[in-house]
Amino acid sequence: MNNLPDNYFVFNSIGIIHSPYKNKAPNQPLVNDQSEFKIILNKKYSEGLKLLNTFTYIYVIYYLDKVIRNNKMVISPPWANQQKVGIFASRSPNRPNPIGISVVKIKKIIDNIIYISGIDAFDGTPLLDVKPYIDKLDAKPDANYGWVEKEDNENHLALHLQGVPHKH
């Protein structure tokens, strides 16, 4: 037993995410970005990658280590026409526990390195976990856009959500 309170947890980073983004990244992963994106897992966990290459997509879960905390429970996403939404109804990085999650495609896995499609994390972001994204289990055909639907048509919104530059 230790003397830490019950609601205090310590996680160690299990690797590092590498991306071309130093201090500006898209709002969500850009699957067609051809730059190099990779996850370097700490070597001691390499065996844990066994058969991960049988999946096409993974969840990447990471610590948003460069977030400047502001404790706001209601925020206004930059692309959402000043719509105010609760932090938990958003994908904002400025949340009480700054944990990011992205679904990305596996390109190849060599030893302890997972080469992936674009991810919206800064270069050097600490990795917390990797899990397989599994068809039927994870893909929800009746998923919607929630409050986001009110803003505009879905194709246009997808561009905003991903932070893809486009003309109005």
Contact range with ligand SAM by CB under 6 A, out of 30-38, 80-88, 92-100, 127-135: 92-100
Sign of the Cα torsion 63, 84, 149, 136 reads positive
Based on the shown chain and the rule CB under 6 A, indicate whether residue 37 belongs to the binding site for ligand SAM: no
Based on the shown chain and the rule CB under 6 A, indicate whether residue 67 belongs to the binding site for ligand SAM: yes
Identity of residue 166? H
Q: Taking Cα atoms as reference points, which of 63, 57, 61, 15 lies closest to residue 40?
A: 15
Helix (H) or strand (E) holding 15: strand 15-18
Based on the shown chain and the rule CB under 6 A, indicate whether residue 101 belongs to the binding site for ligand SAM: yes
Per CB under 6 A, the list member of 14, 15, 18, 25 interacting with ligand SAM is: 25
DSSP 8-state symbol, 97: S
Based on the shown chain and the rule CB under 6 A, indicate whether residue 31 belongs to the binding site for ligand SAM: no
Per CB under 6 A, the list member of 65, 138, 149, 154 interacting with ligand SAM is: 65
**Phi, psi (degrees; rounded to nearest 5) at 147:** -65, -20
**List of residues contacting ligand SAM (CB under 6 A):** 25-28, 64-67, 91-93, 100-102, 120-122, 125
